[in-house]
């Protein structure tokens, strides 16, 4: 299905029959991507006395219970409720689902502390378009090892506070990244990038979201896309999500 959309007074052609999925699947396996020191997800049939919810074991249907954490076990989208005392649900904060988005690729640089960070300077030099509502950050090195990466106690790269401020001031509402967090793994609860992006201490951006643990294959070129940001209707600060890109021509 092909259609035409208008972005910033410019028309683009979009083929909706060619989606580009940048989400990670959820597996009941130690090979599932993992962060934050948790056990792997569980997907198991319900057992009720002699009845087991598995066709393979004689039931008429497969009837599984799934146990997972959206922040630790795969692609997820979170709202400001992730860091506030007040309850905010991603299901209430995200009410629009299509956005113009720019995909960029960066190699995190070594900071004075020895950590690898994504800096404001890198974003300034890589972003090419104005008035985009979403930014998708692919980090190098990039391989399908990200599908099963075990991030706990690995001190992954993260976003500098200045970079998060820059994104906010650009008017970007939706930040997507292929890392487990925009902040340092162990930062004593400072959460500088989260707070800067959501403008935590001032007029909070309740309609802004952060999506973490995406995976963007190398063959997907940097540039402008149409983003469809899909979530499950969880009344929670975060939900598993399925961001889909469409090429703009």
Say how far apart CA 81 and CA 140 lie, in whole Å: 30
Q: Is residue 63 part of a domain?
A: no
Residue 136: give the domain boundaries: 2-24+74-247
- Residue 91 contacts residue 238 (beta carbons within 8 Å): no
231 within domain boundaries: yes
Does 64 reside within a domain? no
In DSSP notation, the chain reads: -EEEEEETTEEEEEETTS-EE-PPPP-SSTTS-B-TTPPPPEEEE-EETTEES-GGGT-SS--EEEE--TTTSS-EEE-GGGS-SS---HHHH----EEEEEEEEE--EE-TTS-EEE-HHHHHHH---SS-SEEEEEESS--GGGGS-B-TTS---EE-HHHHHHHHHTT--EEEESSS-SS-SSSTT--HHHHHHHTTTSS--TT-EEEES----TTSPSEEEEEEEEE---SSSEEEEEEEEEEB-
Does residue 234 lie in a domain region?
yes
Q: Is the pLDDT of residue 176 over 90?
A: yes
pLDDT in tens, 88-120: 999 999 999 999 999 999 999 999 999 999 999
Write the pLDDT tens digit of every residue in 138-163: 999 999 999 999 999 999 999 999 99
Query: Residue 34 domain-assigned?
Result: no
* 233 falls within a domain: yes
Name the nearest CA neighbour of 25 among 75, 60, 72, 69: 75
Residue 62, domain member (yes or no)? no
Structural domain total, the chain: 1
Q: Is there a domain that residue 69 lies in?
A: no
Report, as an integer, the average pLDDT of 189-195.
98
CATH number of residue 98's parent domain? 3.50.30.50
Mean pLDDT computed over 50-74 = 98
The phi-psi region of residue 132 (left if phi > 0; otherwise alpha if psi is between -120 and 50; otherwise beta) is beta
pTM (predicted TM-score): 0.97
CA distance 222 to 126: 9
Average pLDDT of the residues in 122-138:
96
pLDDT digit string, tens, across residues 10-43: 899 999 999 999 999 999 999 999 999 999 999 9
What is residue 148's predicted lDDT score, i.e. its pLDDT?
98
Give me the pLDDT at residue 9, please.
85
Percent pLDDT > 70 in the chain is 100
């Amino acid at each position: 299905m092909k259609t035409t959309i208008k972005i910033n007074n410019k028309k683009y052609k979009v083929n909706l029959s060619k989606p580009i999925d940048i989400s990670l699947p959820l597996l009941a396996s130690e090979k599932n991507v993992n962060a934050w020191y948790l056990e792997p997800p569980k997907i198991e049939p319900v057992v009720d006395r002699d009845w087991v919810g598995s066709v393979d074991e004689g039931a008429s249907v497969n009837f599984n219970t799934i146990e997972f954490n959206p922040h630790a076990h795969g692609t997820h989208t979170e709202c400001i409720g992730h860091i506030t005392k007040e309850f905010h649900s991603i299901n209430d904060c995200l009410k629009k689902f299509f956005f113009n988005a720019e995909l960029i690729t960066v190699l995190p640089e070594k900071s004075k502390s020895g950590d690898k960070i994504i800096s404001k300077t890198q974003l300034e030099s890589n972003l090419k378009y104005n008035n985009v509502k979403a930014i998708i950050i692919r980090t190098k090195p990039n391989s399908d090892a990200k599908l099963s990466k075990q991030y706990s106690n690995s001190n992954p790269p993260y976003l500098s506070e200045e970079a998060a401020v820059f994104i906010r001031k650009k008017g970007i509402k939706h930040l997507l990244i292929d890392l487990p967090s925009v902040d340092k793994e162990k930062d004593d609860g400072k959460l500088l990038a989260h707070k800067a992006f959501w403008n935590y201490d001032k007029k909070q951006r309740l309609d802004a979201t952060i999506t973490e643990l995406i995976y963007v294959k190398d063959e997907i070129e940097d540039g402008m896309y149409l983003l469809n940001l899909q979530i499950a209707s969880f009344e929670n600060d975060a939900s598993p999500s399925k961001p889909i890109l469409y090429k703009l021509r």
